[in-house]
Structure 1
Amino acid sequence: MTKSPEKWGVIYNPKAGTRKVQKRWKEIKEYMDSRNVAYDYVQSEGFGSVERLAGILANNGYHTIVIVGGDGALNDAINGIMNSDAPDKENISLGIIPNGIGNDFANYWDMSDDYKEAVDCIIHGRRRRIDVGTCYYYDGQKHLTRYFLNAINIGLGARIVKVTDQCKRFWGVKPLSYFMALLSLIFERKLHRMHLKINGEHIRGRIMTVCIGSARGYGQVPSAVPYNGWLDVSVIYRPELRQLLSGLWMLIQGRILNHKVVHPYRTQHVKVLRAQNAEVDLDGRILDRHFPLEIGILHEAITLIIPE
Structure 2
Amino acid sequence: MLNPAARSGAAAAVREEVARELEARGVAWTRVDTSGPGDAVEIARRAALNRAPVVVAVGGDGTVHEVANGLLRARAEREHDTALGIIPCGTGNDFAHNVAGISGRAAAYDALMRGRTRRVDAGLVEWNGGGEYFVNAMGTGMDVEVVRQLRKTSRLPGALIYLSAVLRTLRVFRPTPLRLDGAGDVVDSSAYVIAICNGSRIAGGLRICPDSLPDDGVLDACFVQALPWHRIPPTLLGVLRGTHGGMPWVRMLRAQSFTLAVPRGTHLYFQLDGELRDGGSANELRISNVPGALRVVSALAKEG
TM-score, L = length of structure 1: 0.87
1:306 counterpart (285, 298, 301): 298
2:213 is matched with: 225
1:166 Cα offset (Å)? 4.9
1:8 is matched with: none
2:172 is matched with: 188
Secondary structure of 2:8's match? coil
1:106 Cα offset (Å)? 0.9
**Aligned residues of 2:224 and 2:251 also touching (Cα < 8 A):** yes
1:23 counterpart (13, 18, 21): 13
1:202 Cα offset (Å)? 4.0
1:40 Cα offset (Å)? 2.0
Q: Distance in 2 between matches of 1:155 and 1:286?
A: 12
Secondary structure of 2:96's match? helix
> In 2 relative to 1, CA 135–162 (structure 1 residues): closer, same or farther, beyond 3 Å?
same
**Aligned residues of 1:96 and 1:118 also touching (Cα < 8 A):** yes
1:135 Cα offset (Å)? 0.6
User: CA offsets, 1:3-62, max 9 Å, x none?
Assistant: xxxxxxxx1111221343222122111221222221222110111101111111111111
One-letter code aligned to 1:259: M
**Aligned residues of 1:28 and 1:116 also touching (Cα < 8 A):** no
Structure 1 unaligned residues grouped into runs of 5+: 1-10
One-letter code aligned to 1:192: T
Secondary structure of 2:68's match? helix
1:94 Cα offset (Å)? 1.1
2:54 is matched with: 64
1:112 and 2:113 aligned: no
**Aligned residues of 2:26 and 2:113 also touching (Cα < 8 A):** no
User: CA offsets, 1:263-304, max 9 Å, x none?
Assistant: 111111111232634530000111112332110001111111
One-letter code aligned to 2:193: T
1:32 and 2:22 aligned: yes
1:51 and 2:36 aligned: no
One-letter code aligned to 2:79: D
Q: Which moved more, 1:189-198 or 1:225-234?
A: 189-198
Q: How does 1:256-271 map to 2 (within 5 A)?
A: 256-271=244-259
> In 2 relative to 1, CA 161–246 (structure 1 residues): closer, same or farther, beyond 3 Å?
farther
User: CA offsets, 1:154-180, max 9 Å, x none?
Assistant: 11122224435654x222031x33432
Structure 2 unaligned residues grouped into runs of 5+: none
**Aligned residues of 1:162 and 1:284 also touching (Cα < 8 A):** no
Q: Distance in 2 between matches of 1:248 and 1:273?
A: 25
1:171 and 2:156 aligned: yes
1:235 and 2:223 aligned: yes
1:294 and 2:273 aligned: no
1:216 counterpart (200, 210, 214): 200
TM-score, L = length of structure 2: 0.89
* Aligned-pair Cα RMSD in Å: 1.9
Secondary structure of 1:234's match? strand
